[in-house]
Structure 1
Amino acid sequence: MFLATAVLSVLLALGFIAAGLPKALAHPSAKAEAHHLGHSVVTFRVIGMLELAGAAGAVLGLWLRPLGVTAVTALLVLLAGAVRAHLRAKDALKAVVPAALFGAVALAVLLLRLAAS
Structure 2
Amino acid sequence: MFIATVIVCCVLAVAMLGSGAAKLTGNRGQADLMTEVGFPVERMWVLGALTIAGAVGLIIGLWWWPIGAAAAAGATLYFAGAVGFHLKSGRPNQSMGAAVGLTVLSLAALILRVASA
TM-score by length of 2: 0.92
8 Å contact from structure 2 (residues 5, 116) kept in 1: no
Superposed CA RMSD in Å reads 1.3
**13-22 or 94-103, which moves further after superposition?**
94-103
Match of residue 67 from structure 2: 67
Partner of 1:107: 107
Q: Which residue of 1 aligns with 2:23?
A: 23
What TM-score results when the alignment is normalised by the length of structure 1? Answer: 0.92
> What SS does the aligned partner of 2:56 have?
helix
For 2:109, give the aligned amino acid: V
Name the structure 2 match of 1:35: 35
| Conserved 8 A contact 2:13-2:55 | yes
**Count of residue pairs the alignment pairs up:** 117
The one-letter amino acid paired with 1:85 is F
Distance 2:101 2:24 in 1: 22
Find the aligned partners of 1:62 and 1:13 in 2 and give their Cα distance.
Answer: 11
- Counterpart-to-counterpart distance in 1, 2:34 and 2:95: 14
CA distance in 1, matches of 2:47, 2:32: 15
Q: CA contact under 8 A between 2:8 and 2:105: conserved in structure 1?
A: yes
SS at match of 2:72: helix
CA distance in 2, matches of 1:92, 1:29: 16
Unaligned runs of 5+ in 2: none
SS in 2 for 1:57: helix
Equivalent residue letter for 2:29: S
Q: Equivalents in 2 of 1:53, 1:115: separation in Å? A: 23
Residue matched to 1:81? 81
Structure 1 residue runs of 4+, over 4 Å off?
none
Look up the equivalent residue of 1:110 and give its one-letter code: L
The aligned amino acid for 2:53 is A
Deviations 1:32-88 (A, max 9, x none): 222222222232110111011101111110001111011110111111110011111
Aligned twin of 1:44: 44
Q: Percent identity?
A: 31
Q: Any unmatched runs of 5+ in structure 1?
A: none
